[in-house]
Structure 1
């Protein structure tokens, strides 16, 4: 299968202009608010929630800020070929430059790095990027600790410990070993391997010990850490390491790990001095509080944004220690976002993240918590206003973010943007329950229906009819189809799979998309995914065999696979792989970050001929690693599109373990406003007065609109000609009815049919004279601007002429 590519292409023009949707990105980004982006950011920051502290002089206290740098691996890896060409710098360098610049204003005595300094330990240039960034702190005399993550060692097998490495061959030690650590005045020493270190820093008249421990510490290293604590019996201890606690599939709840529990039992719980831990490695943000052997609280914090937009988008942790008021305030901030060129900003560029584990306050009675080992511990001079607020002020000064992008759930099954050039749009909403063999999944845009391939033809001897179902429960909230097809118990080791396919004569099979394309779908990975049974499974495939494509160069990976496929790697990354129209260029691939299990995401793949790039968007955000020098697809004629399986060596394999929602293919690149996560354009309402603006009797109004929309039609007389005030007929008529004719208004409500047409019967007949018709269409609480038409009725009601 495809390894992670080493030279990703630059992001396409479409990616740079797309604002994305306001979805939470893989659970890592909080919903957008005016306080985070937009012109009023500075004003809104002052009114932040109760986690922010007032900056008035009356609130002065003894305070300092601890800075935390989570995984920087993608900053190091993509500095030269992504970040610098696109922006002029990289997030890692901007982070350290900002910390160096504000260290005095924020009273930062120390910075911690949580590991995964680089992405590929064997690539020297990545170490050079990291070296440059950390040298910035050294030049500014801002002490820091650093430690190796699994990407910083040559063999990241988690069954190995630091004692199992060939230390002479570890690049980490060449770049960040003890010989470099001594540049920090806080450095106290390293363990025998040199991969772990400790520091003692001073703030507000008190000292704190930081233990920076390697990716997988041996018993010897854990014993060393215990000895370090024993040699400093009165110091509060902050433990940093790469892997400790994890985050559950809900994206917020912390969960323990086997290795983390080992550290808890052998190091953290027995040492009352350890009151705070930090780790990265697991993607997202989480925290938990546990009681140690002394019955005291230990707060454990996970922070890692490498799989978010822009490889982490420069987010770091800023922890304000308020020794006077007994609290620690955490905020997640990005100096990179506020540094970026204005024209590069998207809706994901938020200076602050304000989710439950991204901005919070820890109440801690320092004197009580540390009283057992540091009875003299106390605050310094209360002369600092809120450093949390000061950090916000510094970052937001002069920053104008993009306008927030909002989304709303669909109001009907037709509440999605119709796009000219749609080649196929497969929807499941008309189906439910077990999907029988040969059942048809309609293409609502053309003649490319799919069907469930019978088990006898699927090549899977272990599949069951019940393996494929259509569900209407808990589907993606922005899919107006409200349904999805789910593939259960797919297992490549047991050859169990099921799938859908277009017919061999479907027109979409033979489209090469040489003018670019947009392919989008909704995907969910089953929570039972394992690497052994489901790695490299595929959700959407243009089947065929690459080796038979004229001019296709040989490759070690997937030489006999399909020309085009979207699936999931062994590392739970989305992989889009395609052979472009120019077959001789070979495979082109885009990669996401790690995808959280059991959670719906929207995936859009946009091929832009303007710069020959294919950009993958996950929940609206462009991924960092995209495909370049690619246009359209090379295809085998008459080979079907598939949902639910891969196609390699001319047979189905690696079935999708999870669900697939509505899926659409468009013959040109589009942006977020036209994707299925957007809402229908209500401005396309049309009214048809087929008889022109003069009619004898208006019995029906027709038109076109958005399927499922409610159309309100109001008809008002503007200049009646009968009865006529002062006319003899009028006087006679009043005498007959014993009353004058009042003004007459008509209001008619109807619904647009599935084919986009609507009609409304006008009854009773309108009076003779000029009338104004106003029509609007609405979906939920959204309503179009009115469409108006003026017409004249030339016959009075009941007249038979």
Structure 2
């Protein structure tokens, strides 16, 4: 490395499943006691203030999908018209098609959130199942109940088999030709109008590749991702996708939203591992939301090196609502402003990754809040308080990092082609 400047630590911020913040039902104009979307905007403002371009350490942000709540069409898209659809009382109650509210309330709130960070640093957003235009129930996998009474979480296994359709709404906000990404030098590739995308960023003396993939991608998406990796060989790579590991750290879909059952050409999380992640030694980390809570697993890839897989999803958290408006009813939760931070320190003898959770609402890290495990320990009732906290407050030794990756020539320099102007 040129010079004697020690590369400084840097962070990647992770934003997960924001649909409850922007749900049109969770705003004052709908009679809710607060504007939940403002909690999301505060999160993004915190990230922007702490961007590397503003003197902080955050070099990149990734959004893990389910950006908004409601579909715009309750029925099949054109490519699935022959499948048909059947009534589903659970979906009709909790996720009715809401085109006007979606386009006038939810999508603008999400767009404003990401515009806050758009000028501060490179970022990625992937689509989740809620972001698809269409939602309908497969006649071959009907719901198991005749009404929608009860808590939605308890009804998940009885919903039946769901289809999701096109991503026209999503590409209006996050498509590759939108102002957020068009002509950005760090946005280096996309597929299907940006539903799958690739970004470059720098940190700690290394150049990183980030891949964002749609949920349960088909082989054409995997081929595109492989082509991007082949065009950027040797770079430590982070892969974001809405669904990968679940609450039990298994690579397994929720039965109701197993998109491979509905569309066999898609790949399951385990298929994605076998076809893309395990075979490419430069994929270091996977990030996903979708399933409630947090968890992690580490597996060796086909080359004998470690892949760190993280579930990050705080959407069911609602302690803030319990205190400020205990009478308020929500479908699931809000999120309490939680952000996952992955802080890389790559300068020492053994590179390290620190996991932390920060709440922009509480303005505190998880380890700073004495009642953290009492508030949220329900996510993992089988764990001790210390083990539960360790999911959001831990240090991981990246002990094979040096064997896999080569630093850039001048870690103290700034590559104008990759970094936002500082």
The normalised TM-score by structure 1 is 0.35
Shift of 1:332: 0.8
Counterpart Cα distance in 1 of 2:408 and 2:376: 32
Counterpart Cα distance in 2 of 1:89 and 1:117: 11
CA contact (8 A) 2:171 2:193 kept: no
Which of 1 and 2 has greater Rg?
1
Shift of 1:300: 0.1
Instruction: Find 1:153's aligned residue among 132, 146, 151.
Output: 132
**Quick check: 1:197 aligned with 2:192?**
no
Instruction: Find 1:277's aligned residue among 279, 286, 289.
Output: 286
Counterpart Cα distance in 2 of 1:324 and 1:364: 12
Q: Which residue of 2 aligns with 1:95?
A: 43
**Quick check: 1:334 aligned with 2:359?**
yes
CA contact (8 A) 2:71 2:135 kept: no
CA 1:346/1:289 → structure 2, altered by over 3 Å: closer, same or farther?
closer
**Quick check: 1:173 aligned with 2:148?**
no
Counterpart Cα distance in 2 of 1:277 and 1:158: 30
CA RMSD of aligned residues (A): 3.3
**Quick check: 1:368 aligned with 2:402?**
yes
Q: Which residue of 1 aligns with 2:66?
A: 116
CA contact (8 A) 1:316 1:332 kept: yes
CA 1:130/1:88 → structure 2, altered by over 3 Å: closer, same or farther?
closer
Shift of 1:141: 2.4
CA contact (8 A) 2:207 2:407 kept: no
CA contact (8 A) 1:283 1:306 kept: yes
Counterpart Cα distance in 2 of 1:133 and 1:318: 18
Counterpart Cα distance in 2 of 1:226 and 1:234: 13
- Map 1:66-465 to 2 at 5 A: 66-78=12-24, 80-81=27-28, 85-86=33-34, 90-104=38-52, 105-122=55-72, 123-124=102-103, 125-138=105-118, 140-155=119-134, 165-166=165-166, 170-180=168-178, 181-182=181-182, 184-248=184-248, 254-257=249-252, 259-309=268-318, 310=321, 311-325=334-348, 326-338=351-363, 355-365=389-399, 367-370=401-404, 374-376=405-407, 380=411
SS at match of 1:229: helix
CA 1:377/1:369 → structure 2, altered by over 3 Å: closer, same or farther?
farther
CA contact (8 A) 1:270 1:292 kept: yes
Counterpart Cα distance in 2 of 1:98 and 1:349: 24
CA 1:289/1:369 → structure 2, altered by over 3 Å: closer, same or farther?
farther
* Uncovered stretches (5+) of structure 2, i.e. residues with no partner: 1-5, 73-101, 139-163, 254-267, 322-333, 378-387, 413-422
SS at match of 1:337: coil
- Map 1:648-797 to 2 at 5 A: none
Counterpart Cα distance in 2 of 1:188 and 1:103: 21
CA 1:80/1:193 → structure 2, altered by over 3 Å: closer, same or farther?
same
Q: Which has the higher strand share?
A: 1
Deviations 1:538-582 (CA, angstroms, capped at 9, x unpaired): xxxxxxxxxxxxxxxxxxxxxxxxxxxxxxxxxxxxxxxxxxxxx
The normalised TM-score by structure 2 is 0.65
SS at match of 2:43: helix
CA contact (8 A) 1:67 1:108 kept: yes
SS at match of 1:307: coil
CA 1:157/1:189 → structure 2, altered by over 3 Å: closer, same or farther?
farther
SS at match of 2:389: coil
Counterpart Cα distance in 2 of 1:179 and 1:132: 17
- Map 1:593-612 to 2 at 5 A: none
SS at match of 2:173: helix
- Map 1:510-549 to 2 at 5 A: none
SS at match of 2:49: helix
**Quick check: 1:65 aligned with 2:14?**
no
Counterpart Cα distance in 2 of 1:118 and 1:228: 28
CA 1:336/1:378 → structure 2, altered by over 3 Å: closer, same or farther?
farther
- Specify which structure has the bigger relative contact order, considering alpha-carbon pairs within 8 angstroms and separated by 6 or more residues: 2
Alignment size in residue pairs: 304
CA contact (8 A) 2:134 2:166 kept: no
CA 1:355/1:346 → structure 2, altered by over 3 Å: closer, same or farther?
closer
CA contact (8 A) 1:66 1:110 kept: yes
* Uncovered stretches (5+) of structure 1, i.e. residues with no partner: 1-59, 249-253, 340-344, 382-801
Deviations 1:416-456 (CA, angstroms, capped at 9, x unpaired): xxxxxxxxxxxxxxxxxxxxxxxxxxxxxxxxxxxxxxxxx
Shift of 1:87: 6.4
SS at match of 1:355: helix
CA contact (8 A) 1:243 1:282 kept: yes
Counterpart Cα distance in 1 of 2:355 and 2:236: 18
CA contact (8 A) 1:323 1:380 kept: no
CA contact (8 A) 1:338 1:351 kept: no
Counterpart Cα distance in 2 of 1:188 and 1:347: 43
Deviations 1:177-229 (CA, angstroms, capped at 9, x unpaired): 11122264421121135311110111233210000111231111111111110
